[in-house]
Structure 1
Amino acid sequence: MRLLCFLLTFSLFSCYETTRDCENYKTGKFYSEVYVNDVLYKSTFKRTKDLQIETYNNKIDSSKLRWINDCEVVFKTINPKNRAEKKDIHLKILTTTDSSYTFEYSYVGETKKQKGVAYKAKK
């Protein structure tokens, strides 16, 4: 009976598998949505292997990319205008679908993380 309960429990948990096909999101055109304190922030960006150009509130920001692995990247602002922009940002892709990915990000070395979703831009 214990074996049956174990197998049933194991089969229920093994059916839930998170998809992480991060390679599809290393380059391309995207838009993202992030909630911070119940406020929605949207941006668009184009990403190459080692560069990301982002537009937010009609302002363009460019960052150099350093991929740690297929699902984690560090952003370094190319021309920081203040102290906050000098801090590197660590982004980790948590899950992927065929058209989007869920991510978490924070300043490097900080424990407070934010989450968001990025979508492939329609061509």
Structure 2
Amino acid sequence: MKNIFFLFSLILIISCQQPERNCTDYKTGYFEFKYNDNGVEKVGHILRSENLQIETYDNKIDSSEVRWINDCEVVFKTINPKRMADKNDIHLKILSTTDSGYTFEYSYVGKSEKQKGTVTKAELIN
């Protein structure tokens, strides 16, 4: 009986463990992300300051205002939207972090459909 209680307690403790989230490490910096474009894996880059994020991908540059809700959640507002979809703010939540990057989920503000991705730290080359 003691063994069953011990095993149950151990499982309960392990299942309650939260993933590591050192989100403040990723509020600013230079990052890299991979994305799929019609079956072709491509790489994009993010340069983020306290108030601005610049993304480069597929020979495009997008700039967004950055507004942190808390240490792990941020809202991006496209500065010069060119399409209707770009006029919608994006809510991003960091789910877990490592020394080299983070896993996140994002959605358009007000929409329930979420997508996930990962970002890694990168070297800014002049």
TM-score class normalised by the smaller sequence: 0.7 to 0.9
Q: Where does 1:64-75 land on structure 2 (aligned, <5 Å)?
A: 64-75=65-76
Change (3 A) 1:105 1:55: same
Scaled by the length of structure 2, the TM-score of the pair is: 0.86
Counterpart position of 2:78: 77
Q: Give the Cα separation in 1 of the matches to 2:25 and 2:83.
A: 32
Counterpart position of 1:88: 89
- Where does structure 1 lack aligned partners over 5 or more consecutive residues? none
Counterpart position of 2:10: 8
Q: Give the Cα separation in 1 of the matches to 2:39 and 2:116.
A: 12
SS in 2 for 1:49: coil
- Where does structure 2 lack aligned partners over 5 or more consecutive residues? none
Q: Where does 1:34-113 land on structure 2 (aligned, <5 Å)?
A: 34=35, 40=41, 42-113=43-114
Q: How many residues align?
A: 122
Q: Give the Cα separation in 1 of the matches to 2:67 and 2:11.
A: 40
Aligned identity (percent) is 57
Q: Report the aligned-residue RMSD.
A: 2.0
Change (3 A) 1:102 1:46: same
Counterpart position of 2:118: 117
Q: Give the Cα separation in 2 of the matches to 1:39 and 1:110.
A: 27
For residue 108 of structure 1, report the CA deviation from its aligned partner: 0.3
Q: Give the Cα separation in 2 of the matches to 1:8 and 1:110.
A: 38
Scaled by the length of structure 1, the TM-score of the pair is: 0.88
